[in-house]
Amino acid sequence: MSGERDTIAAISTAPGAGGIAIVRLSGPRAEAILRAAFRPANAKADLSGRRLTYGAAVDEDGAAIDEAMAVLMRAPYTYTREDVAEIHCHGGSACASAVLRRVLLLGARAAEPGEFTRRAYENGRVDLSRAEAVMQLVGAQGEAARRAALRQMRGGVASFVEGAVQRLTDMLSRIQAAVDFPEEVDEAAVAAQVRAELEELAGQIEQRADPKRARMLREGASVVLCGRPNVGKSSLMNALLSAERAIVTDIPGTTRDVLSERFTLGGKVVRLSDTAGIRASGDAIERMGVERARSEVEAADVALLVLDMSQPLTDEDRALLAKADERYLLCLNKRDLPEALDEAALPDLPAVRLCARTGEGVERLLARLEERLGAGGGEEECFTVERQLRLAREAAATLRGCAQALGDGFSPDVVAPDMLRACELLDNVTGRDASEEVISAIFANFCVGK
């Protein structure tokens, strides 16, 4: 199967300091290269036993490059279904780079981004939707995202898609029967039944292909604090973050400015932003700040509108309240002070009374927020990868169109080609028909070594 293939190698661990770094090889020469680049401490050690063996990575003169552990996994029971070898050396880039150079000198080729997973795909170990899930798992932020990616990698979406294609095929065969045997099969009955099934299937696909939910899983939910100046937004931001301090995540690659912080709540990543900081002095800048604050609030999954309970509502408060929709939670702050706010004048939205200064009520607010974020749907397999989401939505729209046409009185064999088209779109999710271009684009987004 892979007799002619070259053997690829890469550092599979993340760059930067760490305890260990792993150089991975895959391909027909993995074993030979490993035996040349690694010397077990015990000369009798059996490298082929899928066990980690202690020893040293060595250069062409037999001199040690690094103390290391190595493992050899023979095809086909490996990630790529080819022979795979790993050399676990000391972390940091120096040792791993030296070991990588050594295996390249021995005839391995530097792997392209995602090439290990691409080989797993080409050798039939994973389908495209699973390969994409691997990529997402590697980048997963938060428990919910990890669970979604893992479910998908184990075939959650793939089996849903296969089931959907199966159902469509079944409907198509009933349509065909109605065409072939018009005397025996009642076409109108088939049309009505297929129409109902198409609606149901489209609904199931749409439910799993909700872009908002996918984005929340991928990037976390965006929660924005808004309110007029001095109501206590910054204080509340600090109180929320310190209540969650133990699990504030330091996610690499994000700018940790004071305006936006991430933490996890009930396994979901929350990106909390304070629009107060957007305001700057100076007219033009102030206006830009207000504009940015508005667009942040518009794009947010949840808006926390902070009001000062110790003061009557101002026109600015009223203007903000007038815009409040179902995404809003009202935070009635400064409850430690004498109350001057007329609560009867507030719109009918969930409200939490709290004191940002002491942190009192903040736990309640977090509980409400968690409830709100959890309400975004169950955890059934859903399409989280942009490419899959697009295909699924197009398939659902096509099926809706078919159902509509049947409802308008078109005969089933007229809509059949569109149903076939939906099948193709769904097949592309798992990559049964994916073109080389699509495949290359997908794997190019992977990191090297995966």
Residue ranges in contact with ligand GDP by CB under 6 A? 227, 229-235, 276, 333-334, 336-337, 355-357
Q: How far is the CB of 258 from ligand GDP (least distance, A)?
A: 11
Instruction: Give the shortest CB-368-to-ligand GDP separation in angstroms.
Output: 17
3-state secondary structure the chain: CCCCCCCEEEECCCCCCCCEEEEEEECCCHHHHHHHHEEECCCCCCHHHCCCEEEEEECCCCCEEEEEEEEEECCCCCCCCCCEEEEEEECCHHHHHHHHHHHHHCCCEECCCCHHHHHHHHCCCCCHHHHHHHHHHHCCCCHHHHHHHHHHHCCHHHHHHHHHHHHHHHHHHHHHHHHHCCCCCCHHHHHHHHHHHHHHHHHHHHHHCCHHHHHHHHHCEEEEEECCCCCCHHHHHHHHHHHCHHHECCCCCCCCCCCEEEEEECCEEEEEEEHHHHCCCCHHHHHHHHHHHHHHHHHCCEEEEEEECCCCCCHHHHHHHHCCCCCEEEEEECCCCCCCCCHHHCCCCCEEECECCCCECHHHHHHHHHHHHHCCCCCCCCCCCHHHHHHHHHHHHHHHHHHHHHHCCCCHHHHHHHHHHHHHHHHHHHCCCCCHHHHHHHHHCCCCCC
CB 405 within 8 A of CB 175: no
The distance of closest approach from Cβ of residue 163 to ligand GDP in the complex, given in angstroms and rounded to an integer, is 51
User: Residue 232 Cβ, how far from ligand GDP at the closest point, in Å?
Assistant: 3
Phi, psi of 366, rounded to the nearest 5 degrees: -60, -40
Nearest CB to ligand GDP, comparing residues 337 and 367: 337
| Of residues 208 and 334, the one with the C-beta less far from ligand GDP | 334
What is d(CA 47, CA 72) in angstroms, rounded to the nearest whole number?
6
Closest to ligand GDP by CB, 238 or 388: 238
How far, in Å, CA of 328 to CA of 347, rounded? 11
- List, in order, residues 6 or more apart from 20 with CB less than 8 Å away: 13, 88, 89, 90, 91
Residue (83 or 296) nearer to ligand GDP, CB: 296
Q: Which is nearer to ligand GDP, 56 or 356 (CB)?
A: 356
Residue number, 123 or 235, with CB nearest to ligand GDP: 235
Task: Choose between 357 and 390: whose C-beta lies nearer to ligand GDP.
Answer: 357
Least distance to ligand GDP, CB of residue 355, Å: 4
Least spacing, CB of residue 260 vs ligand GDP, in Å: 14
Distance in Å, CB of 334 to ligand GDP, minimum: 4
CB of 366 to ligand GDP, least distance (A): 16
Minimal distance, residue 316 CB to ligand GDP, in Å:
12
Give the shortest CB-238-to-ligand GDP separation in angstroms.
8
**For residue 278, what are the CA distances in angstroms to 7, 234, 287, 293?**
52, 11, 10, 7
Whole-angstrom distance, CA of residue 240 vs CA of residue 42: 56
**Identity of the residue, 155 or 232, whose beta carbon is nearer to ligand GDP in the bound complex:** 232
Q: Are 231 and 354 in contact (CB under 8 A)?
A: no
User: What's the closest the beta carbon of residue 269 comes to ligand GDP, in angstroms?
Assistant: 23
Q: Specify the residue, 198 or 355, whose C-beta has the smaller distance to ligand GDP.
A: 355
Which residue, 97 or 311, is less far from ligand GDP as judged by CB? 311
Nearest to ligand GDP of 337, 444 (CB atom): 337
Which CB, 34 or 239, lies closer to ligand GDP? 239
Residue sitting closest to ligand GDP (CB) = 232
What is the nearest approach in angstroms of ligand GDP to the Cβ of residue 229? Answer: 5
Partners of 88 in beta bridges = 22, 69
